[in-house]
Amino acid sequence: GALQFWQGLIAAGQLSVPFEVTHIDAHSDLGIGRPGPGFVLNSVLPLSPAERADIKRYYEMKQLDEANYLLFALAFRWISRLENVRNPKSRPDIPQFAFRCEQENQRGCGEYEFIRLSSFVSKLFEAKNGIEPRVDFKVFDDYTEFSASAEYDFASLAVSPRYSPAEADVLVSVIKEYFDLI
């Protein structure tokens, strides 16, 4: 998955943390549905940042999957900016912990601005771990409104068996033709 790919690049010195992510998907992959965000917020965040990225263990515990891997990456403090580019036909699934803005005005907040992970348990460890970083966050409800501001260093393609129809698998070989595989 993407987390293992990123972890390998980080270990090889090819990717520096924190990094920016543009996530193009019908789903946010921030923990809506099972297994949900509770494990990350209450069991991963209290760990020291250096101990958090035990990806294999979380998979074995069945706490990490394709529906919440970006939430784990945020908890690992790997991401500095996250863009979520959605299909306009999909339902929004941004969790409540994705704050909209620093301060509301009379008209409310409007667009999402940032995510800062936190839980009651993680707050007990802030003296040791520090406050979780603010991660800039922007949602594009329609992919036609999105345009990348710079070239990408890396791209990863994921096929989620629980969410993608088997017919979509044929597209993987077509898409591969446009990438230099590493």
Per-residue pLDDT at 15: 96
Q: Distance (Å, rounded) from C-alpha 35 to C-alpha 25?
A: 19
Per-residue pLDDT at 24: 92
| Strand 19-24 with 79-85, pairing | parallel
Per-residue pLDDT at 137: 93
Question: Is the pLDDT higher at 140 or at 181?
Answer: 140
Q: For residue 64, is pLDDT > 60? A: yes
Range scoring the smallest mean pLDDT among 14-28, 70-84, 109-123, 127-141: 109-123
DSSP class of residue 91 equals: P
Give percent of the chain above pLDDT 70: 93
DSSP class of residue 134 equals: P
> For 81-105, what is the mean pLDDT?
79
- For 121-166, how does the pLDDT look when each residue is reduced to its tens digit (9 = 90+)? 999 999 999 999 999 999 999 999 999 989 998 888 877 777 778 8
Per-residue pLDDT at 132: 96
Per-residue pLDDT at 54: 98
- Of 34, 32, 37, 73, nearest to 52 by C-alpha is 73
| Coil/strand/helix, residue 99 | coil
Q: What is the pTM of this model?
A: 0.90
| Coil/strand/helix, residue 24 | strand
- For 154-168, how does the pLDDT look when each residue is reduced to its tens digit (9 = 90+)? 888 877 777 778 888
Beta bridge partners of 21: 82
Per-residue pLDDT at 105: 56
Give percent of the chain above pLDDT 90: 57
Mean confidence (pLDDT) of the chain = 89
Q: For residue 6, is pLDDT > 90? A: yes
